[in-house]
Structure 1
Amino acid sequence: MEMEATAWRKLLENIIADAQERQRIANRLGVNPATLVRWARGETNPRYENLQRLLKALPEQQETLTQLLLEEFPTFDMPVGEDISEQIPAEIYSRILNTYVNMQDAQRSWYMSDLIMQLALGQLDPNYLGMAITIAHCMPPSGVAHKVCSLRQNTGRGTPPWNTYLDQGLLFLGIESLAGYAVSVGHLVTVQSRTEQTFTPVRWEEWEKSAVASPILLGGRVAGCLIISSTQPGYFLEFRQKLVEQYTELLTLAFRSEEFYALRDIELSLMPSQETQRLRFSQFRQRVSDVLREASQKQHPVTVREAEQIVWADLEADLLALPISHHS
């Protein structure tokens, strides 16, 4: 039965009137945005742990909101001890597993990747300081040695100054990159600032002040890498690194078993600069269309996904064949 909207619910209703803020808070709490609307309307009551997370997600309104919550929930109190933001809430695990079991095979990889990036972004950058999260997939083995020679970074998620959707981040990464290094050594790698003295390879991008790369591992095999950049130097403290590792473990659900490769089959090459690569990406869609048309003419039709994989492999081969002068 619907309850009368109390003062804290009215405050929440005003806050979540902005769709972007509603999504941010939902990601931070690990709930659906519709759940916040039901709380605001008095249709349901949040559990105490969700009220605590709500306070954490709204630092500017925390004092006022605490007082209003106590009017409806006299026994409620602020959390003590360990900061709940230092662990992934149970609701997030539940939401991810529910999505996994209910998603069709053809859609599972994209939806799982996007959902996990959204939720990780909500917890790792709750105050919108500026963060970018991308996933790089291992390219299928190629060459005479039949080894994985590069990672393909595709879509991602971000908070300002990055765009919400990082669809323009398409890039092949090799051993010259932080992600490539993390995949090669088989464990999480972080660089805390541009001025840090380190032998770890990293190519800094605009706005990026610290970064972490965590290989996506399952049973000693690797499928790719989770890459996270922050506008804040020194942002990836130990507790955040543990969170990154936990979200990376969840990302194994977004990959098929055949997309994981033994570490001994990883021999990443040096890939050309972003500028050189993007010049060659401009004709990607046209090349996919050409593959589809040629396959149809030969009466051996392929799917769009298969055509894309063929073009990616051709692009990788083209880039690997370029002289070293294109790698700076």
Structure 2
Amino acid sequence: MSRSETLGVAVIGAGRMGADHVRRVDRVTSGARVTAVVDVDGERAEAVAARVDGCTAHTDPAAALAAADVDAVLVASPGPAHEAALLAALERDLPVLCEKPLTPDAASALRVLDAEQRLGHRRIQVGFMRRYDAEYTRLKALLDTGQLGRPLMLHNRHRNVAGPPFFTSSMLITDSVAHEVDATRWLLGHEIRAVTVLRPTPSAHAPDTLQDPQFVVLETDGGALSDVEIFVNCGFGYQVQAEVVCERGTARIGDGHALVTHTAGRWGGTIAQDWTERFADAYDREVQAWVDAARRGEVTGPGAWDGYAASAVCEAGVRALEEGGRVEVELVEKPALYR
């Protein structure tokens, strides 16, 4: 595709995330347009597609991907549907931006890896948008200079006002801690080799069946430890914070002190209430980077290997949550395509 051509994007999934991506590609991103929207709920697909001139609605992903005006695919459907959509896109050699998870488990993620390797080149980017957040990218750049010395520990906090009603205890790991799993791998440049999940007394504000909060400890092959406080019913705001402790200093992000007021004998600021507010710019940067790379025939962001590694770590984390104790992460040897 030449730089002058517009990338026609099919968005699979018309829920909150998918609809937001349709808006983003249509109104924010340059060099792309939404040509198809897919959802199992035909009325929802039609409602979202109607917001974009010339966009068609589908209930069958295969029909959308076969359309002549579809050059790329953005997958924002529920995780269990990702494998089929990814394999269909790879069969047509279409570039894909897939929201996390790549797939819900390591076995299905490996099937996707195998299909991409048979293709012979990378086509999949996984939606770990924190790699595009301004604070995270500054932290990564600082760590890469080496001026703070080796990273020894990474402390993460991930809090939501209230979790969705369908959330289960294991989803705190697979749907939330998955972000910290990727952030740990990316920031430190290490693979995660073991997971331990500690279970504090559940909050009275969490549903009776939900283990919330949880405290997750990740051991890396570089000798560093990364811990994650995941608390999806904290009640007061959405917070994502990280502090790296290195040999010669520390670095911290996520305090959200962009605006502090002093008035009436008090000082303070505001706390974001959900991820769409906190990471809006990161999503914009992520999608634009994906579109720019796809138009060049490249993949530059986190790929299928990163998605597979995160799925394997989360799978071990769910075992650690359910069985107790320390669970080792089993990864296949990294294929040459992803080195």
With the shorter chain as reference, the TM-score category is under 0.3
Structure with more relative contact order (C-alpha pairs < 8 Å, separation 6 or more): 2
- The answer to which structure has the higher helix fraction is 1
TM-score scaled to structure 1, two decimals?
Answer: 0.27
TM-score, reference length from structure 2: 0.26
